[in-house]
Amino acid sequence: MKTIVVIPTYDERENVGPMASAVLVTPDVELLFVDDNSPDGTGEAIEELMRSEPRLHCLHRERKEGLGRAYVAGFSRAIELGAERIIQMDCDFSHDPKDLPRLLAEDADLVIGSRYVPGGDTPGWPFRRRFISRAGGVFIRVVTGMPIRDPTGGFKCWKVSTLRRIDFATVASAGYSFQLEMNHRTWKAGCSIREIPIVFTDRARGYSKITPGIAVESVKIALKLRFGR
């Protein structure tokens, strides 16, 4: 079953080389970077890496349109490349490439690398950040009814048949709430979902793209999914 790892990039020049090396250690996977015209030269760095690595691909986009739009474009390109399974993950090593075989070993329509099932962890997070993240997850579960412990996590393995079943290209969320909306569609479609524990660590290089507005966006999307407005 052909597997392609899809990673959106924006100003990740320092990380794409080490990430490509770490991902492609896993046998029989390919890697697709989706670069949103990074001003720091990330796209050019990826092109240089591609010269010596046939399992590496890059989709260059004209501008930054949000994480959700990048993933929709990346998933579509991965399917064109023949993917039967697609793994999505971050480029900053918050998601450990060593966990890829564990996601691939599970047989479910969607496998989620979860911070909040037994064995998962967020080392180094201050109490306030940990509290907001966990409380947000509880709020989302209560409002939507969706039984996922880590509804906003971004380390996932999809069967392409699942993506087609939920019509992923029509997902409205352009930002980080894309994760929540995709999970909700998958759950409502009756697909099998499995969460496995991961340890989520903060980036060592580059700068974070997370903003305070992301939490507000997730709350709004959760209410929209529940009440339809």
Residue-wise pLDDT tens digits, 101-143: 999 999 999 999 999 999 999 998 898 888 888 888 888 888 8
Provide the whole-model pTM: 0.91
Residue 209 has what pLDDT? 44
Cα separation, 121 vs 16, whole angstroms: 25
- Asked if residue 37 has pLDDT above 60, the reply is yes
Spatial contact of 176 and 136, defined as CB atoms under 8 Å apart:
no
Tell me which residue of 86, 200, 104 sits closest to 150, measured CA to CA.
Answer: 200
- Name the residue ranges covered by the structural domains of the chain: 3-227
Mean pLDDT of the chain: 91
- Asked if residue 185 has pLDDT above 90, the reply is yes
Residue 215 has what pLDDT? 60
Using DSSP bridges, classify how beta strands 156-159 and 85-88 pair: parallel, antiparallel or unpaired. Answer: antiparallel
Q: Which amino acid is at 99?
A: D
Tell me which residue of 36, 11, 32 sits closest to 20, measured CA to CA.
Answer: 32
Backbone angles phi, psi at 177, to 5 degrees: -70, -5
Residue 138 has what pLDDT? 87
Per-residue pLDDT band at 175 (split at 50, 70, 90): confident
* DSSP-assigned beta bridge partners for residue 195: 112
CATH of 3-227, one of 3.40.50.10790, 2.130.10.10, 2.60.40.1120, 3.90.550.10: 3.90.550.10
pLDDT per residue over 73-95, tens digit each?
Answer: 999 999 999 999 999 999 999 99
CA angle 218, 129, 23 (to 5 degrees): 75
Place of tokens 């349109």: 65
